[in-house]
Amino acid sequence: MSQRPTSFNRRWILAGLLAGAADAALAAPPTRSLRPAPRPGGAGARLYPSAELLVERSRLGDAKVAFAVADAETGEFLETMNPFLPQPPASTAKAITALYALDSLGADHRFSTRVVGTGPVEDGLLKGDLVLVGSGDPTLDTNRLATLAANLKAAGVHSVEGKFLTWDGALPIVHAIDADQPVQVGYNPAISGLNLNFNRVHFEWRRAGSGWNTTMDARSDKYRPDVTVSRMSIVKRRYPIYTYEDGGEVDRWTVASGALGGDGARWLPVRKPTAYTAEVFQILARSHGIDLDAAGSAPEKPDGTVLAEVESTELRSMVKAMLKYSTNITAEAVGLASSAARAGGVPEPLPISAGRMSAWLGARVDSSRVALLDHSGLGGASRITAPDMTRAMVRLGPAAGLEPLLKPFYIRDSQGRSDRNHPVKVNAKTGTLNFVNALTGYINPPGGRKLAFAIFISDVPRRDALTVAQRERPEGGRTFANRARRLQSRLIERWSEVHAA
């Protein structure tokens, strides 16, 4: 099937304007073929290659390419390819989540983690239960949890008469963002109202004679508390490298001895984030002389006195880091928290929350085609069209201050190397899944008009054909990604010459 770019007919635009259709250009993608335009320099200047030719040269096989580029101020679509083809957004979905969260929670929103006492403190003794209360902070780390424990001691608490409990009901329990991912990937953790270290545990192995010594810990740059809620066993085999089993109160992992070699380490996902956070807090509190029993679960959010509290950074800084590092748990937690805020404080399951965000976006870009199944883009079944994503950049991005939150995307040369000195400056969100590459954001050509765009490149059948064992490092995946990024660069260069004047 031909993937022919299209553009606006000038008479159609003029007629629309005369009819008072001020938003017509943004509401409908172009429908006519765009001829290559000459470079500046006169009639003899070399023509820029068409988008169709660039796609043909990309050597991406059966991949489907869809894109849209528009004037970032007026929303006038300048060129599209496959404008009605829904594509997996991959992590470009996080740009939508950032817009959704800023609109729902506000740029100054902070997540808090508290220690609440259900009784009075007398002579250092808390005469009641001590409850660790989360609000879903996806960025809570061991350092900040240590500060919370220190603040509890500073509040005069030395011992607890009642129980040590946790409350994680601010967010729903999500056992894994995407069930189709390999079990060991750290970017696919569980989520709850209490999260720690992006819900990852550090697994380390050291050669010891004919075997290995292993540790599982919640390390930071200051602390290294060993944990028991995640446990590892070495099994004599070659494959699979890792297995996971829900052990009730603990995560049970095995690793193949044939894959360990010498010393090494990696982060593994945590499937019991509330228990993980509680155990680490218990260890840190003990370092201040406060002995706590093993944590139980509070049936409801406790009423009582806030004895200590730590807060996250403000949401705007949080989503900027999320967009820079593409942290899936941050996207899911802020998306779930945003939906809960819109539902009157009631947390919703991930698919329902993602559906709420899809409906929110669809209403703002006048589309019924948005179908996001999560907030991070990790699941490959989410779909959005390139024009709808571009409309989000135009209609919602400026008011939210999105562009400064995006990171620079550097144009790649013919060898795939990033050119940081390229005159065309791009701020964008990337997205990468197996045989899926996406890019959306803003183009700032030198001396030209700002452009908003989205590019989706995917080979869904090739992705779907992968076995679970192949999904972490599929054969051909890196080559596909490199070719896709070079195509993205060539398209951006084309638009900067053809449309930016």
> Residue 30: which domain range?
1-87+385-398+409-501
| Inter-CA distances, 323 with 2, 147, 190, 406, Å | 34, 27, 20, 6
Same-domain status, 236 and 334: no
Q: In terms of residues, how long is the chain?
A: 501
Domain boundary at 258, 283, 312, which?
Answer: 312
Same-domain status, 318 and 308: no
| Inter-CA distances, 123 with 120, 158, 161, 244, 277, Å | 10, 9, 12, 46, 28
pLDDT at residue number 468: 87
pLDDT at residue number 16: 34
Same-domain status, 305 and 184: yes
CATH number at residue 303: 3.50.80.20
Instruction: Identify the residue with better confidence: 49 or 43.
Output: 49
- State the sign of the Cα–Cα–Cα–Cα dihedral 312, 316, 319, 323: negative
Q: Alpha helices, DSSP H only, in 182-272?
A: none
CA dist 352 and 192 (Å) reads 16
Q: What is the mean pLDDT of residues 422-448?
A: 96
CA dist 373 and 203 (Å) reads 30
Query: Which strand ranges, in their side-by-side order, compose the sheet holding 230-235?
Result: 230-235, 251-256, 242-246
CA dist 129 and 112 (Å) reads 19
- How many Å is the Cα radius of gyration of the chain? 26
Residue 284, in any domain of the structure: yes
Domain boundary at 297, 312, 327, which?
Answer: 312
Residue 304, in any domain of the structure: yes
Q: Which of 10-24, 169-183, 258-272, 468-482 bottoms out in mean pLDDT, i.e. has the lowest?
A: 10-24
pLDDT band for 448, please (50, 70, 90 cuts): confident
pLDDT at residue number 21: 32
Question: What is the distance, to the nearest Å, from the Cα of residue 268 to the centroid of all Cα atoms in its chain?
Answer: 17
Is residue 428 pLDDT above 70, yes or no? yes
Q: What is the pLDDT of residues 293-326, one digit of tens each?
A: 999 999 999 999 999 999 999 999 999 999 999 9
Residue 319, in any domain of the structure: yes
Is residue 3 pLDDT above 70, yes or no? no
Closest CA to 294 of 130, 146, 138, 93: 130
Same-domain status, 308 and 442: no
Mean pLDDT score across all residues of the chain? 91
Is residue 330 pLDDT above 70, yes or no? yes
Is residue 271 pLDDT above 90, yes or no? yes
Is residue 1 pLDDT above 50, yes or no? no
Same-domain status, 79 and 185: no
Q: Which of 2-11, 394-403, 412-421, 449-458 bottoms out in mean pLDDT, i.e. has the lowest?
A: 2-11
Residues above pLDDT 90, as percent of the chain = 86
Same-domain status, 215 and 237: yes
